[in-house]
Amino acid sequence: MVLVGIAIMLADTVAAWRQAHYRLLDAGFQIACAFFLAEYLLRLAAAPGAPAAHRRGWRARVTWMLSPGGIFDFVGALPGLLDIAFSPKYASLYGFVWVFKPARYSSGLTSLRLVVSRARHALLSVLLAFCIVLLAADSLAYLLESNAQPKLFGSIPLALWWAIVTLTTTGYGDATPVTPAGRVLAGVVMVSGILVFALWAGILATGYAEELRRREFLRTWDLVAKVPFFKNVGASIIADVARLLRARDYPARAVIVRRGERGDCMYFIASGEVEVRLRPDKVRLGPGEFFGEIALLTGGPRNATVVAAQPCTLLTLDIVDFRQLVGRQPDLARVVSEEAERRIAAGQPAPLLSGG
């Protein structure tokens, strides 16, 4: 409905489309308005039953109405009210607020909000530096260029436009210094702008990468803790393993490893099942079992093809991380080695491991 509403809003501003299809556009816009108005009323009615609701009845509804989510949903329902009270033309222009409604379902935007919240002190420090450089550039431009270009630099407020577009390296060209000192100042300001925005970008990029690593670690921790192979080990070992493992999702019938490939990682099955295609038999492995470790121990190629029998989540351990883990966790390494020796002694193909 968001896509429909936005598409109608855009199409409604094209005069030819509006003239040819005004009835269809008006009907579609009214349907979208009715949908979002009904959504608001239903959320309001269901507010007492929300998991986070600490109140009941009308108190819960009032609390939800005054919450950020309630206020935003009310704003999203306003185009419908405007459509009833005023001309649909102006109501459709107001429909742009619908584009923000999917934001609540975006985990990426939630992570970005957390990043900005945690890095707010550093971001504010860079903002202060930006304001200092902006004011200094503005004042110096006024001193250096006011006599040569009084219409563009005749006052500090007039020179502020040049300082903003130069510090942001936009450079519209409508206001440029003509004196030698002013041009030197412009070069310094442009370089300073690049440095300031690089600091902002670096802070956000670092914080976002740390947040993604944290979320991935928590997800991997949950998966590792559910694998029977790790249930009897301590939290410190799980934390050590969770930092090395990488969760990967495979759809049904996806080929995980192929016969003859170089073995560069082993796999733990967190959920689902895989089918190991041996010659001439096939073996199925389920949650808690693992495979691919003998290729890491021996350095040999894969001797079987492994296919996802159903959608599954696997935890992969790279060969470099495997060797690090062997050095740090001798008990885990012993279990893996014993299982590998048991399979080799039983005559099973090298890449298979069915123990857990």
Query: What pLDDT was estimated at residue 333?
Result: 66
- Whether residues 125 and 71 fall in one domain: no
Q: Fill in the DSSP letter of residue 271.
A: E
Query: What pLDDT was estimated at residue 32?
Result: 86
Query: What pLDDT was estimated at residue 354?
Result: 36
Q: What is the C-alpha to C-alpha distance for residues 250 and 334, in angstroms, rounded to an integer?
A: 29
29 falls within a domain: yes
For residue 315, give the CATH number of its domain: 2.60.120.10
Query: What pLDDT was estimated at residue 352?
Result: 41
- Whether residues 188 and 258 fall in one domain: no
Widest CA span of the chain, in angstroms? 93
How far is residue 188 CA from its own chain's centroid? 36
226: enclosing H helix or E strand? helix 180-226
- Whether residues 320 and 247 fall in one domain: yes
Query: What pLDDT was estimated at residue 353?
Result: 40
Q: Where among 65, 81, 105 does a domain terminate?
A: 105
Q: What is the C-alpha to C-alpha distance for residues 253 and 8, in angstroms, rounded to an integer?
A: 41
Q: How many domains does the chain have?
A: 3
Residue 211 backbone phi and psi in degrees, to 5: -65, -40
> Cβ(177)–Cβ(186) under 8 Å?
yes
Q: Where among 81, 105, 129 does a domain terminate?
A: 105
32 falls within a domain: yes
- Whether residues 319 and 248 fall in one domain: yes
Q: Where among 105, 132, 156 does a domain terminate?
A: 105
What average pLDDT values come out for the chain (356 residues) when binned by 10 residues?
Answer: 85 85 85 88 85 71 84 81 65 73 76 85 92 93 92 91 90 88 92 92 89 77 67 65 80 88 82 82 81 70 85 84 72 66 56 38
Q: What is the C-alpha to C-alpha distance for residues 113 and 309, in angstroms, rounded to an integer?
A: 39
30 falls within a domain: yes
- Whether residues 246 and 304 fall in one domain: yes
Q: What residues does 306 pair with on adjacent strands?
A: 257, 276
Q: What is the C-alpha to C-alpha distance for residues 69 and 61, in angstroms, rounded to an integer?
A: 12
> Cβ(81)–Cβ(174) under 8 Å?
no
Query: What pLDDT was estimated at residue 97?
Result: 80
pTM for this one? Answer: 0.60
Residue 159's identity, in one-letter code, is: A
272 falls within a domain: yes
87 falls within a domain: yes
Cα separations in angstroms, 104 against 69, 100, 135, 239: 9, 8, 38, 31
Query: What pLDDT was estimated at residue 194?
Result: 92
The two tokens of residue 194 are 């690049």
Q: How many Å from the N-terminal Cα to the C-terminal Cα in the chain?
A: 48
What residues have CB less than 8 Å from 60, skipping those under 6 apart?
Answer: 47, 48, 50, 53, 54
- Whether residues 101 and 128 fall in one domain: no
94 falls within a domain: yes
- Whether residues 164 and 263 fall in one domain: no
Cα separations in angstroms, 162 against 154, 159, 185, 189: 12, 5, 12, 10
Q: What phi-psi label fits residue 64: left (phi over 0), alpha (psi between -120 and 50 degrees) or beta?
A: alpha
- Whether residues 124 and 98 fall in one domain: no
- Whether residues 243 and 341 fall in one domain: yes
Q: Of 95, 100, 89, 99, whose CA–CA distance to 13 is shortest?
A: 89
DSSP 253-264: T-EEE-TT-B--
- Whether residues 49 and 127 fall in one domain: no
48 falls within a domain: yes
- Whether residues 64 and 131 fall in one domain: no
193 falls within a domain: yes
- Whether residues 241 and 334 fall in one domain: yes
Which structural domain range is residue 75 located in?
Answer: 2-105
